[in-house]
Structure 1
């Protein structure tokens, strides 16, 4: 196949047609709280109907997968062709490989933590019941009713040498009212009183991606990750050796992507999940035809006309190529906000509606 024919083929086929399985983030990609992200449900139903399995992989350890699945079905996601994997399950899988069946593990967090441990054949123990018998490990995940006594118990156990596993270290959690402390904030609190550090299994570590890929049954080159956070979804995909699609339907903005370091750069970018059904141009492509002009004020200049998807890819590729070559690129937030408006991207306050 000639380069010209190959390039034409890449341009014409839907992005998801290049892969046999999809690992998809949830918050900011599929839904925002109780509401679905525009185009997400229809796109996912098209993907699964075409025979591409989906694993929804979430760092949120508080809920069991069944509860997450119920929410997705309520939003209209088709009943088959997908499954849910949580960071609690990744923590339980990590321990199940290292401990004997039935080993006692202290569970701190929401119901999802204890559920995952039991599902993996381990014995979940509440912090209040630690005096009954010793435990071999402690798993700390997000929970909305975590108490001081539970956090203190994690510190006592970790300091005594018990294996300490953290489902994830996301410092913040998005809520309808703004950012709230995430599991990482509680992990940091415990770390202030102990010399120990936890083993982390959630994004951006590769464990959650590997568990998701095993559920899909796909090889690395055949697996695509989709997410809205550069430091978790995209950096994690890179650490697991997987291609990724970054979508601008969540908290991260175009400016964040333009200034992403190598470890957090995705393979593709789209406004939302519907990008899976459109042709995708890899962002590392730096041929002149895929670049836009960088003005003397270090601001990308977009030509009139052309498909917004192609222009979006070109703006990002231009910024990366310039920065990698040591050239200045404007980091003015107002400039990048105007570029988003020119591209027709929903701004954060619009996306939240």
Structure 2
């Protein structure tokens, strides 16, 4: 759908009205832990009220969709117009296509893992309940109570020939206190002790996007992905042939975005989900009015005034154009910190500008 958008039409309508369905990440996009990301809930309620359905697709496999739904309700998300799918469901769907109904599968992770296996017609078994019995497969997902014994069991089973499915391989997870180890960190730990490799179903693999899009009932060209991780949400959307909106409210920074390789570059960028309601051009638009000069410090030179949303897009477009042309752009933290403060992405420290 991107190729059909002209500069004039892009400025005349909000981003979300160009699509018939939205696949939206959760952690770092809608909430961080128990708290909502600013402007996220209000935006989502306006989107669903306008008739655009939303499927929340998350790599976090620790909780069931119902549990996630309860959390969203408590945050104030309207009760209709959306549903939740997670990587546990994608893992269960993968195994259900390959195993007989009722097959025993070891479930490691939060309650969402076992719940998804049961709903797919398989029999989940916790590591502690295996005893001397065998299982055909093991699903490893994130859980705050995952133990060393469970991780060791994943390795034992994989080495013995069981199908090892990892719900996702996100190395970190955003929390109100900062980044915490994600499921990918635990998968990597198991990999140090086994020669087996897991089959991964979560983002950036296509399985979760296809599951979400089937819920929406939309074509690829009519589906927009929104996320905060370049390596999962955005790279996955690109590989699945879907347009994407990258938001700077979660795991990846403006500097990460500016230096992103082509496979991880989004179609659009915004500070947070409210960008769905703003008219904006695709980030890769390189018309002269979208570009800034590179200053003597080899980073975009910021004007003294201007709308932050448009300046954000211009910074990213400028750096991508420079890098693609073989020009040098500085990765020094100091200048990029000043740009982020200028755009309101971080709060300046007392006594600084």
Question: Residues 145, 75 of structure 1: CA spacing in aligned structure 2 closer, same or farther, 3 A cutoff?
Answer: same
Q: CA deviation at 1:147?
A: 2.2
The whole-number CA distance in structure 1 between the counterparts of 2:80 and 2:117 is 25
For 1:236, the equivalent position in structure 2 comes to 236
Written as runs of structure 1 = structure 2, the 5 A alignment for 1:165-204 is 165-204=165-204
The whole-number CA distance in structure 2 between the counterparts of 1:77 and 1:324 is 41
TM normalised by structure 1 equals: 0.94
Please give the per-residue CA displacement for 1:79-98, whole angstroms capped at 9, x wherever unaligned. 00001111111100111111
Please give the per-residue CA displacement for 1:113-150, whole angstroms capped at 9, x wherever unaligned. 00000011111112123246421111001112222222
The whole-number CA distance in structure 1 between the counterparts of 2:166 and 2:4 is 48
Higher mean alpha-carbon deviation, 83-92 vs 287-296, is at: 287-296
For 2:79, the equivalent position in structure 1 comes to 79
Written as runs of structure 1 = structure 2, the 5 A alignment for 1:191-270 is 191-270=191-270
The whole-number CA distance in structure 1 between the counterparts of 2:116 and 2:140 is 12
Question: Residues 5, 105 of structure 1: CA spacing in aligned structure 2 closer, same or farther, 3 A cutoff?
Answer: closer
In the alignment, is the contact (CA less than 8 A) between 2:173 and 2:251 conserved in 1?
no
For 1:61, the equivalent position in structure 2 comes to 61
Question: Structure 1, unaligned stretches of length 5 or more?
Answer: none
For 2:151, the equivalent position in structure 1 comes to 151
For 2:276, the equivalent position in structure 1 comes to 276
Q: CA deviation at 1:249?
A: 1.3
Q: CA deviation at 1:181?
A: 2.3
Question: Residues 65, 269 of structure 1: CA spacing in aligned structure 2 closer, same or farther, 3 A cutoff?
Answer: same
SS in structure 1 of the partner of residue 251 of structure 2: coil
In the alignment, is the contact (CA less than 8 A) between 2:102 and 2:122 conserved in 1?
yes
Question: Residues 212, 83 of structure 1: CA spacing in aligned structure 2 closer, same or farther, 3 A cutoff?
Answer: same
For 1:95, the equivalent position in structure 2 comes to 95
In the alignment, is the contact (CA less than 8 A) between 1:251 and 1:348 conserved in 2?
no
SS in structure 2 of the partner of residue 124 of structure 1: strand
Please give the per-residue CA displacement for 1:161-203, whole angstroms capped at 9, x wherever unaligned. 1110000111223333433322112111211221100000111
The whole-number CA distance in structure 2 between the counterparts of 1:35 and 1:5 is 35
Higher mean alpha-carbon deviation, 280-289 vs 314-323, is at: 280-289
In the alignment, is the contact (CA less than 8 A) between 2:341 and 2:348 conserved in 1?
no
For 1:43, the equivalent position in structure 2 comes to 43
In the alignment, is the contact (CA less than 8 A) between 1:25 and 1:228 conserved in 2?
yes
Higher mean alpha-carbon deviation, 208-217 vs 69-78, is at: 208-217
Question: Residues 348, 157 of structure 1: CA spacing in aligned structure 2 closer, same or farther, 3 A cutoff?
Answer: farther
Question: Residues 162, 291 of structure 1: CA spacing in aligned structure 2 closer, same or farther, 3 A cutoff?
Answer: same
The whole-number CA distance in structure 2 between the counterparts of 1:107 and 1:300 is 49
Higher mean alpha-carbon deviation, 3-12 vs 233-242, is at: 3-12
In the alignment, is the contact (CA less than 8 A) between 2:245 and 2:266 conserved in 1?
yes
The whole-number CA distance in structure 2 between the counterparts of 1:76 and 1:241 is 32
For 2:313, the equivalent position in structure 1 comes to 313
Please give the per-residue CA displacement for 1:14-50, whole angstroms capped at 9, x wherever unaligned. 0001111101111111111111111111100000001
SS in structure 2 of the partner of residue 300 of structure 1: coil
The answer to whether structure 1 residue 20 and structure 2 residue 20 are counterparts is yes
Q: Pairwise CA RMSD of aligned residues? A: 2.0
SS in structure 1 of the partner of residue 345 of structure 2: coil
The whole-number CA distance in structure 1 between the counterparts of 2:325 and 2:217 is 39
TM normalised by structure 2 equals: 0.94
Question: Structure 2, unaligned stretches of length 5 or more?
Answer: none
Q: CA deviation at 1:311?
A: 1.4
In the alignment, is the contact (CA less than 8 A) between 1:43 and 1:273 conserved in 2?
yes
